[in-house]
Amino acid sequence: MKIGFIGLGIMGKPMAKNLLKAGYQVMVYDRMPAPVKEVVEAGATEGASGKDIAEKCDVVITMLPNSPHVKAAILGPGGVIEGISAGKIVVDMSSIAPGASQEICAAVKEKGVAMIDAPVSGGEPKAIDGTLAIMVGGDEKAFEAVKPILEKLGTSVIRTGEIGAGNVTKLANQIIVALNIAAVSEAFTLATKAGVNPESVFNAIKGGLAGSTVMNAKVPMMLDGNFKPGFRIELHIKDLQNALDTAHALNVPVPLTANVMETMQALKMDGLATSDHSAIVRFYEKLAKVEVRRQE
> Among this protein's residues, is 71 annotated catalytic?
no
pLDDT at 123: 85
Residue 100 lies in a domain: yes
Sign of the Cα pseudo-torsion (177, 231, 63, 106, in order): positive
In 120-244, DSSP assigns E strands to 120-121, 132-138, 154-161
The answer to whether 163 touches 119, Cβ cutoff 8 Å, is: no
pLDDT at 125: 87
Residue 295 lies in a domain: no
Residue 158 lies in a domain: yes
The answer to whether 270 touches 227, Cβ cutoff 8 Å, is: no
Q: 153 and 7 in one domain?
A: yes
Q: 149 and 207 in one domain?
A: no
pLDDT at 279: 98
pLDDT at 178: 98
Q: Mind listing the pLDDT tens digit for each residue in 245-262?
A: 999 999 999 999 999 999
Burial of 148-185, coded b for 16+ CB within 10 Å and e otherwise, reads ebbebbbeebebbebbbbbbbbbbebbbebbebbbbbb
Q: 282 and 216 in one domain?
A: yes
pLDDT at 124: 87
Residue 294 lies in a domain: no
pLDDT at 296: 74
Q: Mind listing the pLDDT tens digit for each residue in 191-238?
A: 999 999 999 999 999 999 999 999 999 999 999 999 998 889 999 999
Domain boundary among 120, 140, 163: 163
What's 23's domain CATH number?
A: 3.40.50.720
Q: 155 and 12 in one domain?
A: yes
Domain boundary among 114, 129, 163: 163
Q: 173 and 276 in one domain?
A: yes
Q: Which residues contact 194 (CB under 8 A, 6 or more apart)?
A: none
Q: How many domains does the chain fold into?
A: 2
Q: Which residues of the chain have pLDDT under 50?
A: none
What's 239's domain CATH number?
A: 1.10.1040.10
Q: 105 and 8 in one domain?
A: yes
Q: 197 and 119 in one domain?
A: no
Q: Among 65, 10, 3, which Cα is nearest to 28's?
A: 3
pLDDT at 73: 98
Phi-psi region of 112 (alpha: psi -120 to 50; beta: other; left: phi over 0): left
Domain boundary among 128, 163, 198: 163
Nearest-10 Cα torsion for 22, 7, 58, 97: 110
Residue 35 lies in a domain: yes
Q: 183 and 125 in one domain?
A: no
Q: 127 and 33 in one domain?
A: yes
Residue 90 lies in a domain: yes
Q: 179 and 111 in one domain?
A: no
Q: 59 and 35 in one domain?
A: yes
pLDDT at 195: 97
Q: 51 and 14 in one domain?
A: yes
Residue 296 lies in a domain: no
Residue 293 lies in a domain: no
- What pTM was computed for the model? 0.92
> Which of 51, 170, 218, 238 is labelled catalytic?
170
Domain range holding 272? 169-288
